[in-house]
């Protein structure tokens, strides 16, 4: 976010709402779904076996969310006190009249009963907000630059011309940008804009729900939100796409909260396996500008009204410093991923490195309380230093599940992991922080996580951490049983929800547990909207090529050299090994595609096809469940794989 743009945006009207927080006990959680995110697909080659950031990730997340809802419904039902009958003067039970009326209204609902959530704690919403990259003020606040919207315009053109560039050059990603961890297709912009719209819609709903005298309808209120979107965002800087990320979703959400709702203090907690170098860079720039504005306002003449400073951001990250973007040991990346600064120069940054653990007792008795919770302790210090609890505070979670114990070994190769229950307990601790300082406001946005089992188990535990059961102690949270996501239950869940052909149905045995049956019922509620079928995509049989890093320079007339700012080295994420993407090698299993082959449409049947990346069985990390198919090995090096060198 360049200084020139900030000055221009200072004149924008900031929406003023009632600035008193509403406190009313248990908090409601809404899951935001965006089907447009399925349109971002890899088309550089017809072989997608090495692509880990894939549309099917969202289905794995939804399986976990459906399982969590089924468990929440069970807990909610068992905790509801039996209502006392109220008998009126006529001797007719008032409750019986209310029940009859409720039953009549339920019969009028055209939706199937199985699709109705049986809990007041959680709801689902298909995001309907649409944005345009070049017209959205929050997007330009984060990704605009001094000379205009150069990066955003380039991004749109890269996607629009992706097929043509693949045919001509072998890659849709321009020179100077690592091509092996990034891809685009013509409909990628729809997915990116849809993802941003979903985040902004969640921010609007959460803030409106926590404001006194809000006009939001009670059945639409939510103090907490989980936004299931892709592609992820936390590696993307102001104009540097990287690590599957093209725009920074969480930073744009924070900017939207500031520009449209007057949020001045923002906490971003990043729990992805990889350091969110893009988010930290953006937060640093915003804090730097706010600090400058604050100093200038303190020395401004008495007759000149001080400029209202911008937002202040605390960014805290828990990550593996041995993994991308630090795996090559580049000094700039490692230093950034190890920064800890709290106050000087207006900066509030905390980075904590994941460590290996040898037992649950070691993790929960040593690592979690003594090291990892420091992320939240520093957030409290930031909020206390800057004014304490207030209506100008908002909490965001950059929620990646790739640190999960069930992530692919090829993605998490340094044994820096967390147990599934981390995503429940850390989320619950974050909600307590939000209840204390921010009126309960929490917006969690999906980042990484690539194996189905990591995504499913992590999403399940995370939603259980966000949800409140009416009448239960928020802090004790004693309604959650962490055995819900043990290995036996996860295997049962995977078998019950495995995608099948359209002609077949999910077959659950008569003695299947109720939560599994209910999960299968709920999954269509969360999965692809049948009214919005996926568009077809073409796979073009042109292998990617290796690219060199380019320095960021002043924009010129050339599209490929139109980026600005301080040099920000970006490592390349190579996907190689069995089934992976390799630079320019001949396909020995089939002949090169003809023009007819290239023009053939590849239809990805998201609803019915088997997941291309099934989770490995326990104890067999190198193969998929029962198929013998090798998992992709993800190599994060700027040099090409050995078999292509020379």
- Catalytic center residues: 235
Ramachandran angles phi, psi of 211, nearest 5°: -100, 135
Q: Strand, helix or coil at 294? A: helix
Beta strands in 203-285 (DSSP E): 224-228, 265-270
How many angstroms from the chain centroid is the CA of residue 273? 13
Whether 237 contacts 40, CB under 8 Å: no
Q: Which residues on adjacent β-strands are paired with residue 341?
A: 349
Q: Which residues on adjacent β-strands are paired with residue 87?
A: 93
Cα-based distances in Å from 42 to 180, 188, 572: 11, 10, 17
Q: Strand, helix or coil at 522? A: helix
d(CA 417, CA 420): 9
The residue to which tokens 């995110």 are assigned? 37
d(CA 543, CA 640): 14
Exposed/middle/buried for residue 505 (C-beta within 10 Å: 0-12, 13-18, 19+):
exposed
Nearest Cα residue to 474 out of 24, 10, 15, 57: 24
- Report whether the peptide linkage leading into residue 231 is cis, meaning its omega lies within 30 degrees of zero: yes
Cα-based distances in Å from 118 to 28, 32, 71, 113: 14, 18, 11, 10
Angle at 353 between CA 279 and CA 401, to 5 degrees: 65
Over its C-alpha atoms, the chain yields an Rg (Å, rounded) of 25
Terminus-to-terminus CA distance in the chain, angstroms?
41
d(CA 502, CA 497): 14
Angle at 97 between CA 94 and CA 98, to 5 degrees: 85
How many angstroms from the chain centroid is the CA of residue 620? 28
Across the beta sheet with 29-33, the strand order is 122-126, 29-33, 224-228, 442-446, 393-399, 265-270, 312-319, 348-353, 340-342
Whether 281 contacts 235, CB under 8 Å: no
CA torsion, ordered 240, 164, 231, 521, to nearest 10 deg: 180
The dihedral built from the CA positions of residue 293, 294, 297 and 299, taken in this order, carries a sign that is: negative
Ramachandran angles phi, psi of 435, nearest 5°: -65, -35
């Amino acid at each position: 976010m360049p200084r020139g743009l900030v000055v221009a945006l200072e004149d924008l009207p900031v929406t003023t709402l009632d600035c008193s927080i509403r406190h009313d006990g248990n908090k409601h959680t809404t899951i935001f779904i965006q089907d447009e995110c399925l349109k971002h697909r890899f088309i550089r080659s017809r072989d997608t076996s090495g692509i880990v950031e894939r549309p099917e990730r969202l289905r794995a997340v939804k399986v976990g969310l459906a399982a969590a809802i089924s468990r929440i419904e069970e807990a909610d039902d068992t905790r509801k006190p039996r209502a006392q009958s109220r008998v009126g003067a006529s001797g007719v039970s008032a409750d019986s009249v209310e029940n009859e009326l409720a039953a009549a209204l339920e019969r009028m609902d055209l939706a199937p009963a199985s699709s109705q959530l049986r809990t007041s704690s959680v709801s689902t919403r298909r995001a309907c907000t649409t944005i345009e990259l070049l017209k959205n003020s929050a997007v330009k606040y984060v990704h605009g630059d001094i000379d205009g919207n150069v990066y955003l315009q380039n991004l749109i053109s890269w996607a629009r011309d992706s097929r043509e560039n693949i045919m001509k050059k072998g890659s849709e990603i321009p020179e100077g940008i690592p091509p092996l961890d990034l891809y685009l297709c013509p409909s990628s912009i729809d997915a990116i804009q849809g993802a941003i719209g979903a985040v902004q819609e969640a921010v609007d709903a959460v803030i409106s729900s926590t404001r006194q005298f809000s006009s939001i309808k009670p059945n639409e209120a939510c103090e907490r939100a989980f936004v299931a979107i892709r592609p992820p965002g936390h590696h993307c800087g102001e104009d540097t796409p990287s690590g599957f990320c093209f725009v920074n979703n969480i930073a744009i959400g924070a900017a939207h909260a500031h520009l449209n709702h007057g949020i001045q203090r923002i906490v971003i907690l990043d729990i992805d396996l990889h350091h969110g170098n893009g988010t930290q860079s953006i937060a640093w720039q915003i804090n730097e500008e706010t600090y400058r504005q604050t100093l200038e306002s303190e020395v401004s003449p008495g007759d000149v009204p001080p400029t209202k400073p911008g937002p202040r951001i605390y960014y805290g990250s828990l990550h593996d410093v041995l993994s991308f973007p630090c795996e090559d040991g580049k000094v700039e990346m490692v230093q950034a991923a190890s920064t800890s600064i709290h106050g000087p120069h207006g900066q509030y940054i905390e980075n904590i490195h994941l460590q290996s653990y040898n037992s649950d007792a070691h993790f929960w008795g040593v690592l979690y309380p003594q090291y990892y919770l420091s992320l939240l302790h520093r957030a409290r210090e930031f909020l206390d230093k800057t004014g304490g609890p207030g209506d100008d505070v908002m909490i965001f979670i950059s929620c990646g599940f790739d640190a999960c114990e069930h992530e692919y070994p090829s993605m998490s190769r340094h044994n820096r992991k967390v147990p599934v229950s981390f995503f429940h307990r850390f989320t619950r601790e974050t909600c307590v922080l939000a209840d204390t300082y921010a009126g309960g406001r929490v917006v969690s946005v999906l980042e990484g996580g690539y194996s189905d089992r990591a995504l499913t188990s992590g999403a399940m535990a995370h939603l259980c951490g966000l949800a409140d059961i009416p009448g239960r102690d928020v802090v004790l949270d004693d309604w959650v049983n962490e055995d819900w996501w043990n290995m036996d239950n996860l295997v049962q869940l995977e078998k019950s929800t495995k995608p099948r052909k359209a002609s077949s149905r999910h077959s659950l045995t008569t003695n299947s547990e109720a939560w599994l049956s209910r999960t299968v019922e709920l999954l269509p509620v969360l999965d692809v909207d049948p009214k919005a079928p996926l568009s077809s995509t073409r796979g073009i049989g042109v292998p990617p090529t290796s690219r060199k890093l380019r320095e960021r320079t002043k924009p010129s007339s050339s599209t490929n050299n139109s980026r600005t700012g301080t040099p920000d080295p970006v490592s390349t994420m190579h996907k190689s090994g069995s089934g992976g993407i390799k630079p320019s090698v001949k396909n020995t299993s089939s002949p090169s595609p003809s023009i007819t082959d290239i023009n053939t449409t590849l239809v990805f049947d998201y609803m019915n096809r088997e997941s291309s990346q099934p989770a490995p069985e326990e104890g067999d990390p190198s193969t998929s469940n029962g198929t013998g198919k090798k998992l992709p090995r993800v190599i994060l090096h700027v040099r090409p794989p050995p078999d292509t060198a020379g």
